[in-house]
Structure 1
C-alpha cells in the first residue's frame, strides 16, 4: 500500500508529513529505551545491527508480492513483525527507513506522499498491531505459543486498519470524486485477504526466531523459564542404602545455565549431572542467518513475485482514483521499479537491485539505530559519572558541618 503522488491534496499531505515527523521524533526517544533494554539481554554492541537487519528483511520481503485472487496481489507491510521483534518505537524507525529507501532509490511511493506512507505503513500498522498483540498476551497463557498466536492475529488486523485510515484520509483530501462507501468496502475486503498473507509471514518469522533465540524477540522477554536443576544425595559404594527421606529430589531454580565442571552443587548435597542442553545459537549466527535470508529474498525469490497490481492499485484503478496519479519525481533513477536500467537481463537486473536495496537499508537502518543507542548510552554514562561526584560533595559537606572541635568535646 504505497500511496503515489497525486492521490491526496497538499493540506492532507502536509498534515500526514507532520504526523510522520512527530512519530519519528517520539520513536527516536522510545527506541533508545528499547535498545537499552535489549542491550541488558544480549550486549549493547549487538542491538542496533539486529534491529537494522529487521529493516533490511522487511524491505526484502516487501518485494515478494503474493497473489490474493481476482488479479490482485499483496505484500508484507511489516508493522507487526517489526514491533514484535524489536519493539514498537524501534519498529517505527525501521519501517521509516525502509519507506525512505524505497521512495528515493526505487521510485516506490510518492515523494510528496512519503509522510502519508510513513503514517500508514510505519505508524498505523505498528500501533494497531502492537495494541492488539499486548491485549492478547495479557489474557493468553504465558508461553511461546501465545506469542505466535498473538502475532498472527495482530498482523492480520493491522493491514485492514491501515486501509481504513487511508480511506479516511481520502475522504478528507482525495483528489477525485469517488463513492467513499464503496471504496472503503473494497479496501477492507482486499486488504483483509492481504492481511492473511501478512499474518502467515509474520508468524513464520517470529516463530523461527523464537525457536533459536527467544531472548532476541522484544515481545517475548520475560517468558523464558529459569533453568531447573534437581539435586539430591548421591549414594557412595559400600556406604549402604540411601535413606528413603533423602532420596526425594528437590527442585532448585538458578539463573546460571552451565558450570565449568558440568555439575552443580545444591544446598541439599551434590547435584546430579544435568541432562545435556542444546546451546542457543549466538546472536552473530542469528544475524548471519537473517542476512542470508534477506539477500535470498531480495536477490532471488523476488524474481518470482506476482506482477498483478496490489490492493491499493486495484481499488484505485477500479474507482478512478488512479486517474489523478502523478509521475514520481525520481522515475528516471537508475534503480527505479526495482531494476537496473543498464542491465538487459531482467532476472539479473532485479536481483542486483534487490541486493543493493537490502544492503542500503541495512546500512541506513543500523546507522540510525546506532546513533539512537549511543545517545542513550552517553546520557546514562554522564548521569552515572555525575552521581558519585554529587554524592561525594554532599558527603564532604556533611562531614564538615558535623565535625566537633576536640576542645568542645
Structure 2
C-alpha cells in the first residue's frame, strides 16, 4: 500500500505529513521507555532489560525484507506485509511506529517505492493506523483470553488481520478529503476494503507465524507477551541441614548459627532476578532469516501489482499519479541498474536494503534509548536504574495481578 505522489492533493498531503511528524515525535518519547524497559510493568528487569536497540533495528530490517515478498491474493493482484502489527507486538507500539517509518523512509529515498510528498500519508496509513488498531485489539483480546503463549499468537493473528482493512478504510477517508481523481467514494471503499481483507489474511499468517516462532523460544523478547515473562516473584523457604541436626543429642550451640544465617541468604537468593540471557543467538538467527528473505526468497515473489496498484489502475485513481523523484536511483524498483541478471540484481538490492535499514534503524534506536527526557534531571537515568532494581518485586507482583 505504498501511495505514490499525485494520489492526494497538496493540503491533504501536507496535513498527513504534519500528523506523521507528530506521531513520530510522540513515538520517540514512548520508544525510550519501551527500549530501556522503564515505566510501569515494563520496569521488570526480566522483561525490559531484553528489549534492546539492536533487536528493534532487526525488526525494522525484517519488515523491509518481508515487504519484498509479494504473495498472490486474487487473479492479477498481490499483497505484501504492512508490518505495523508485527512491529507493535514484538517491540511495542511506539517503537513499532518508528520501525515502519524507518522502512518507509528507506524505501522512498533509495528504492523509489512510495512517493516522497506522500511519505506522511504512507506513515499514517502503514505505520500509525496499523499499529494503533493492531495493538489496541491485541491488548483487548489478551484481557479475555487465557494467559498463555497460544493466546498471544492467536490474538496476533486477529490483530494483524484487522489492521490491514483498517488501513484501507483510512485511505478511503483521506481520499474523500483530497483525492485527485474523480472516482466515487463508494467505489474506492468497496475496491480497497475487499482486496485488503484478502491481503490481511496473508498479513495475519506472517505475523502469527513470526510471533509464534519467537515466543516459543524467547517470550521475554515479545512485547505483547510481557506478562508471560514477568509473573509475581515467590518466596521459597529453604531448609538447611547442620551438623547439630545430624547428631541426636548434640547441644545446639555454635553449630546452630550457620543455619540461622543461611536462611535469610537463601530467601534473598530465591527473590533475586535471573541473570540476563544473551540475545546474540536470536539476533544472528533473525538476521540470517532476514537476509535470506531479501536476497533469495524475494526472487520468487509475485510479480502482479499489489492491492493499491491494482485498485488504482482499474478505477482510474492513478490518473494524476506522478513519476517518483528518485526514479533514477541506482536501486530503484529493487534492482541494481548496472547488473543485467535479474536474480542477482534483485538479491543484491534486497541485501543492501536490509543492511541500510538495519544500520539506520539501530542507530535511531540506540540514540533514542540513550536520550535523556527533556523534563528529567541530569541524574534521572541512574535514579531510574536504581529504582528499577529496587522495585522489581513490587512491579512484577502488580503485573502478575
Aligned to 2:164: 159
**Aligned equivalents of 2:270, 2:173: Cα separation in 1:** 53
What TM-score do you get using the length of structure 1 for normalisation? 0.80
CA distance in 1, matches of 2:49, 2:208: 27
* Corresponding residue number in structure 2 for 1:398: none
Q: Is the 8 A contact 1:81 1:202 kept in 2?
A: yes
Counterpart of 1:328 (choices 321, 324, 327) is 324
User: Following TM superposition, by how much is the alpha carbon of 1:257 offset from its aligned partner in structure 2, in angstroms?
Assistant: 8.4
The reply on whether 1:217 has 2:222 as its aligned counterpart is yes
Matched, 1:360 2:365: no
- 1:191 pairs with 2:214: no
Instruction: Give the drift of 1:383.
Output: 2.7
| 3-state SS, counterpart of residue 109 of structure 1 | coil
How far off its partner does 1:41 sit?
3.3
Is the 1:300–1:351 contact (alpha carbons within 8 Å) kept by the matching residues of 2?
yes
Q: Give me the whole-angstrom Cα distance separating, in 2, the residues matched to 1:59 and 1:258.
A: 34
Deviates more, 1:204-213 or 1:369-378: 369-378
Contact 1:226–1:254 (CA<8 Å) still a contact in 2?
Answer: no
Paired residues for 1:41-60 under 5 Å = 41=46, 47-60=52-65
Asked if 1:142 is matched to 2:147, the reply is: yes
CA, structure 1 residues 254+202, in 2 after alignment: closer, same or farther (shift >3 Å)?
farther
CA 1:139/1:318 → structure 2, altered by over 3 Å: closer, same or farther? Answer: same
The residue correspondences of 1:69-80 to structure 2 (distance < 5 A) are 69-80=74-85
Contact 1:96/1:122, CA 8 A, preserved across alignment: yes
Structure 2: segments with no counterpart, 5+ residues: 242-246, 248-266, 385-401
Distance 1:13 1:294 in 2: 32
The Cα shift of 1:232 comes to: 8.9
Q: Pick from 291, 301, 305 the counterpart of residue 295 of structure 1.
A: 291
Q: Which residue of 2 aligns with 1:383?
A: 380
Structure 2 length normalisation: TM-score?
Answer: 0.82
CA positional deviation for 1:233: 11
Distance 2:310 2:61 in 1: 27
Instruction: Find the counterpart in structure 2 of residue 314 from structure 1.
Output: 310
Alignment partner, residue 274 of structure 1: none
The 1:369–1:177 alpha-carbon spacing in structure 2 relative to 1, beyond 3 Å, is same
Is the Cα contact below 8 Å between 1:46 and 1:283 reproduced in 2? no
State the SS of the aligned residue for 1:55: helix
Whole-Å Cα distance in 2 between the matches of residues 288 and 54 of structure 1?
12
For residue 72 of structure 2, give the secondary structure of its aligned residue in structure 1.
Answer: strand
Alpha-carbon RMSD across the aligned residues, in angstroms, is 2.7
Maintained 8 Å contact 1:36/1:376: no
Q: 2:107 aligns with which of 95, 102, 112?
A: 102
Change (3 A) 1:52 1:258: closer
1:291-318 deviation line (CA, Å, top 9, x unaligned): 0000000000000000001100111011
Give the deviation of 1:254 after TM superposition. 4.9
Partner of residue 93 from structure 2, selected from 81, 84, 88? 88
Which has the larger share of helix? 2
Tell me the residue number matched to 2:126.
Answer: 121
> Is structure 2 residue 193 aligned with structure 1 residue 178?
no
Alignment match, 1:407: none
Which residue is 1:346 aligned to? 342
Q: Distance in 2 between matches of 1:43 and 1:8?
A: 41
1:14 is matched with which residue? Answer: 14
Instruction: Select the residue among 283, 291, 296 that pairs with 2:279.
Output: 283
Instruction: Measure how far apart 1:118 and its partner are.
Output: 0.4
Higher Rg of the two aligned structures:
1
Secondary structure of the residue that 1:193 maps to in structure 2?
A: helix
CA deviations 1:349-399 (Å, max 9, x no partner) are: 000000000110000011111111001489576236799xxxxxxxxxxxx
- 1:74 to partner: Cα distance: 0.2
Secondary structure of 1:223's aligned partner: helix
User: Does the 8 Å CA contact 1:36/1:377 hold for their aligned counterparts?
Assistant: no
Secondary structure of 1:175 counterpart:
coil
Q: Deviations over 1:299-345 (max 9, x none)?
A: 00000000001100111011101221100001010000000001011
In structure 2, relative to structure 1, the CA distance for the partners of 1:22 and 1:257 (3 Å cut) is: closer
Report the secondary structure of 1:110's partner residue. Answer: coil
Aligned to 1:372: 368
Q: CA deviation at 1:182?
A: 1.6
Q: Which runs of 4+ in 1 moved over 3 A?
A: 38-46, 224-234, 252-259, 376-381, 384-387
